[in-house]
Structure formats: C-alpha cells, structure tokens
C-alpha cells in the first residue's frame, strides 16, 4: 500500500503518522521527494481499509498495490484447485490438478463440469425426469432449488424439505451429485445429502452465512452478486476460506446494468480475469445471465471459449409450465444439443467435458 502525503505537511507530522501506522503492524518506508512525500507500507496490509486511510487529513491518495485477498490469491497458490465429489457421496478432497479421483465428479483442474437441472424442484416426476435427461446428455451434477429466493412474498417459495428429499431420490436414481441453494444457515442440517452448497447472488455478502460455511466441510458454489465487483466476489470467497473451508467454486451469473434486453449482462471478461487472479474454479451461469432460453447456448459456448471451468444451466422438462424461470430454461432437446456442441469448445480450451 502506498500513501501519498498532501503537499505542505511537515516532516514531523508525517513521521508521527507513520509511527501510528507502524503500531498497527506494518513497516513504513518514507520516501521524501522534492515535491511529494510517499509512504510505502510493507507487510500484511489486508486489515487496512484504503478508504479509511484516505479520510486522514494528511493523506492525498492511497493506492493498494497488494491484492486484499490472500487465500484465494493465485500468487500464493499457483496451481489450479480441483474439487472432487465422489459419486455416491463418500470421501472427498481438494487436490492439485493431477490428483487421482476414482469415480468422482470434479470441478476445476482440467475438467469442464456441467451442472444442470430445474430452477426449482416441483414434483417427483419432474425432478427424476430432468435428472435422467441431463445425465444422459452428459451433465456431471444435478441442480434443483428447494428453498427459493423470490422477489415477491406472493410467489412460489419452493418445496422446502420435501424438495430436498426429492433431490435425494433423484441422486439415488441417477448417481448424480447434487447442488442446491441454502438460504440460511439453519438449513445446513437438512443439506447433509447435498454435495455442493450454493450461495445465491443475493447472499454473496451475507457475511454471517459465509462465516458459517467457512466452518462447514461442504464445497460451496458462490454466485457473484448482481452488483458485486469481481474483487468483492473474491473477498466473499476469502470469508469462507478464512474459516478453513477452501473448497469454493466461483460463479459468474451476470451483473445488473442499464441494458435490459437480457435479464442481466453476462460479464464474460470476468472469467479470464478471475482465472488470472485466483486458483479457484470459475463457472458461468448462462441461464440467469441472459434470462432468455434462445440466448443460453451462445452464452454457454462463449463461457467455454473464455476459459470457464464449467456451467450451471437451467433445464426443465416443461418450461412453459415451470413454476419459476421457465423463460430461461432449456428443453431437454435444446440441452442435449448444447452438450453435444460444447465438447469441442471445451477440448479447444484443453478441458474434458
């Protein structure tokens, strides 16, 4: 961190300010130029808030040189993280990219993982039908919402515990590991059979929830908030990792902008940026990012070409009568076609689908 001192500040005041900073645990280099005095902070500045420092009356500008995230930072962990989920739900582990993996579904480290399923679990018939379809098409994970965040209190809120049980049946039927969204920490005990806990975009900065998940052993699929920067996404991952859970999967799902032809704006360049900055796997959700089924395949292929480690896609056996998100759900046929085309794109990026 570099702090430019205002012009006209005396050497004594500067020394006094530097000493105060050193008491907070960093070493301070003072560089006095003819026209500008600059402080260089050496050491761990992750607890220093640049905006707070900028409030000080001696300070002209503050510049972070070091990134504020540590555990998620590729600088300190150059190798890609791969997260393995044993089919059947047995032992799991984080491994380097070349680790052996038995009969596991993996995310990251050379795999291109597709998570697919309906927005919400609606009935035994629906979830099992969709599970079979997405498995046959090559998906490695089944998604389905049991607890649904809905803008209106009068909209369908999900099937709750019953929905979780139906997911477990679909897993038994197909062997596909499960991904489902947790809306509050109490629900964690119900999620014993769920393989990956999803944190939705609206909860990306629910810091208490993130801290609790840091104490969990479950992998976490962390969706980017719709007005969150990629740095804030990494800081949210850092909350989970700081608690001891390093199995975090990031997910770009579109951000909110002035443009309204699509539900959100898919920030495709976030994918290569994240891949440079972090070792964590990066997925893309083309369904929420676009909100329009006919745009999903192109967005999915773009994600693969941009270097994503996989996708999370909404598929419904009867989109027109879906209880939520029907307009963005692929039909089984459209999903099967997409999967067939994706394989070649993943291979061009050196990944296995």
- Contact positions with a second copy (CB under 8 A) in 13-72: 27, 29-36, 38, 40, 42, 46-47, 49, 51-52, 54-57, 60-61, 63, 65, 68
Pairing of strands 113-117, 141-143: parallel
Q: How far is the CB of 105 from a second copy (least distance, A)?
A: 24
Among positive and negative, which fits the CA dihedral 41, 44, 46, 49? negative
Contact between 331 and a second copy (CB under 8 A)? no
Q: How far is the CB of 302 from a second copy (least distance, A)?
A: 4
Q: How far is the CB of 124 from a second copy (least distance, A)?
A: 22
Q: How far is the CB of 276 from a second copy (least distance, A)?
A: 7
Among positive and negative, which fits the CA dihedral 209, 255, 317, 115? negative
Termini Cα distance of the chain: 42
- Closest to 328 (Cα-Cα) out of 115, 113, 119: 119
79 CB neighbour count, 10 Å cutoff: 12
Out of 106, 206, 246, 278, name the contact with a second copy by CB under 8 A: 206
Q: How far is the CB of 114 from a second copy (least distance, A)?
A: 16
Contact between 352 and a second copy (CB under 8 A)? no
Q: Residues 195, 179: contact at Cβ < 8 Å? A: yes
Contact between 154 and a second copy (CB under 8 A)? yes
Nearer to a second copy, 129 or 302 (CB): 302
216 CB neighbour count, 10 Å cutoff: 18
Alpha carbon of 62 to those of 14, 50, 87, 100, 107: distances in Å? 15, 6, 49, 46, 38
Out of 115, 255, 315, 353, name the contact with a second copy by CB under 8 A: 255
Distance in angstroms (rounded) separating the CA atoms of residues 106 and 269? 24
Q: Which two tokens stand for residue 155?
A: 């909209």
Out of 205, 334, 336, 337, name the contact with a second copy by CB under 8 A: 205
Q: How far is the CB of 28 from a second copy (least distance, A)?
A: 9
Q: How far is the CB of 247 from a second copy (least distance, A)?
A: 17
Nearer to a second copy, 98 or 155 (CB): 155
Out of 116, 220, 280, 324, name the contact with a second copy by CB under 8 A: 324
Name which of residues 82 to 141 contact a second copy (CB under 8 A).
none
Out of 83, 142, 268, 311, name the contact with a second copy by CB under 8 A: 268
277 CB neighbour count, 10 Å cutoff: 18
User: Phi and psi of 302, rounded to 5°?
Assistant: -60, -40
The pattern of x and - marking residues 217 through 246 that bind a second copy according to CB under 8 A reads --------xxx-xxxx--x--xx--x----
């Amino acid at each position: 961190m570099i702090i430019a001192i205002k012009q006209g500040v005396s050497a004594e005041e500067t020394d006094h300010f530097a000493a105060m900073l050193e008491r907070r645990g960093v070493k301070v280099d003072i560089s006095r130029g003819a026209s500008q005095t600059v402080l260089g902070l050496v050491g761990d500045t992750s607890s220093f808030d640049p905006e707070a420092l900028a409030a000080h009356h001696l300070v002209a500008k503050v510049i972070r040189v070091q990134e504020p995230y540590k555990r998620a930072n590729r600088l300190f962990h150059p190798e890609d993280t791969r997260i393995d989920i044993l089919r059947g739900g047995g032992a799991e582990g984080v491994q380097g990219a070349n680790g052996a993996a038995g009969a596991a579904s993996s995310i990251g480290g050379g795999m291109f993982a597709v998570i697919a399923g309906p927005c919400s679990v609606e009935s035994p018939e629906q979830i099992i039908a969709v599970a079979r379809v997405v498995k046959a098409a090559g998906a490695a994970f089944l998604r389905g919402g049991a607890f649904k965040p809905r803008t209106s209190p009068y909209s369908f809120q999900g099937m709750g515990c019953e929905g979780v049980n139906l997911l477990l049946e679909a897993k038994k039927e197909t062997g596909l590991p499960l991904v489902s969204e947790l809306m509050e920490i109490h629900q964690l005990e119900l999620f014993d059979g769920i393989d990956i806990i999803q944190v939705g975009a609206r909860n990306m900065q629910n810091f208490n929830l993130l801290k609790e998940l840091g104490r969990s052993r479950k992998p976490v699929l962390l969706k980017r908030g719709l007005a969150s920067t990629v740095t804030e996404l990494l800081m949210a991952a850092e909350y989970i990792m700081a608690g001891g859970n390093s199995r975090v999967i990031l997910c770009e799902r579109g951000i909110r902008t002035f443009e309204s032809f699509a539900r959100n704006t898919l920030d495709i360049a976030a994918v290569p940026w994240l891949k440079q900055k972090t070792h964590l796997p990066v997925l893309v959700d083309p369904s929420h990012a676009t909100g329009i089924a006919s745009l999903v395949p192109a967005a999915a292929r773009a994600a693969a070409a941009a270097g994503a480690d996989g996708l999370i896609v909404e598929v419904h056996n009867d989109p027109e009568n879906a209880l939520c998100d029907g307009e963005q759900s692929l039909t089984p046929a459209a999903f099967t076609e997409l999967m067939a085309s994706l394989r070649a794109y993943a291979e061009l990026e050196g990944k296995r689908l």
